[in-house]
């Protein structure tokens, strides 16, 4: 079973920075890491008009796979729902990953105790709303609000990345070791 850790918070609060820090730290130590990114924008596509893959889709292909010497991209034309996240996680589990980091999907992930959360926020109001809508485990608070270090009566650690990155790595390592018999750890 792969460990799932998500960064959740409002746009511009530090989710990408947090996930990027964790991915680079774990991959530098030989861990097999996967990542899932939620994109809110309507009509977003990586399949640009005029490309061969776009033309295949226009001709009716529901799934198109583009293969180059350095990567493989699977483009599936579907009306995605948040429930599709579980299907994507299952596909990534087949890759024998150690960890999957997820950015976003807060409305879906917030009530799932099987996914650890790192909360990011810009303001105290953002933080309060995100925490109140999230069930444990909540590992840490990072992002813009962690740089401000505003005093709060919250027992979740505020960690300013990258300055306090080692503390976040310690917390994530402890979570992983407690939830997976064989795990990859950052030294």
Q: Which residues pair with 7 in a beta bridge?
A: 103, 118
Contact (CB, 8 A) for 71 and 94: no
Tell me the pLDDT tens digit for each residue of 102-158.
998 888 899 999 999 999 999 999 999 999 999 999 999 999 999 877 666 688 999
**How many Å apart are CA 77 and CA 65, to the nearest integer?**
11
**How many Å apart are CA 132 and CA 74, to the nearest integer?**
36
Tell me the pLDDT tens digit for each residue of 26-45.
999 889 999 988 776 566 56
pLDDT value of residue 60: 81
pLDDT value of residue 41: 57
Which segments within the chain are labelled E, that is strand?
A: 3-8, 33-37, 63-67, 72-76, 99-103, 116-120, 138-142
pLDDT value of residue 71: 79
Tell me the pLDDT tens digit for each residue of 57-115.
888 888 888 888 887 777 777 776 555 788 888 888 888 888 999 998 888 899 999 99
pLDDT value of residue 161: 94
What pTM was estimated for this model as a whole? 0.83
pLDDT value of residue 159: 94
pLDDT value of residue 82: 54
């Amino acid at each position: 079973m792969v460990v799932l850790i998500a960064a959740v918070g409002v746009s511009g609060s530090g989710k990408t920075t947090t996930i990027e820090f964790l991915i680079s730290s774990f991959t530098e130590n030989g861990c097999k890491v996967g990542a899932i990114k939620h994109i809110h924008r309507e009509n977003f596509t990586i399949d640009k008009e005029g490309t061969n893959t776009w033309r295949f889709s226009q001709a009716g292909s529901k799934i198109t796979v583009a293969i180059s010497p350095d990567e493989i991209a699977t483009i599936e034309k579907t009306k995605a729902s948040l429930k599709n996240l579980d299907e994507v996680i299952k596909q990534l589990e087949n890759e024998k990953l150690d960890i999957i980091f997820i950015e976003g999907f807060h409305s879906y992930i917030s009530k799932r105790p099987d996914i650890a959360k790192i909360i990011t926020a810009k303001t105290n109001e953002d933080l309060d709303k995100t925490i109140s809508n999230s069930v444990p485990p909540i590992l840490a608070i990072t992002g813009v609000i962690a740089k401000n270090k505003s005093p709060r009566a919250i027992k979740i650690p505020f960690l300013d990345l990258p300055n306090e990155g080692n503390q976040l790595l310690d917390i994530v390592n402890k979570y992983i070791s407690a939830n997976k018999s064989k795990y990859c750890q950052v030294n």
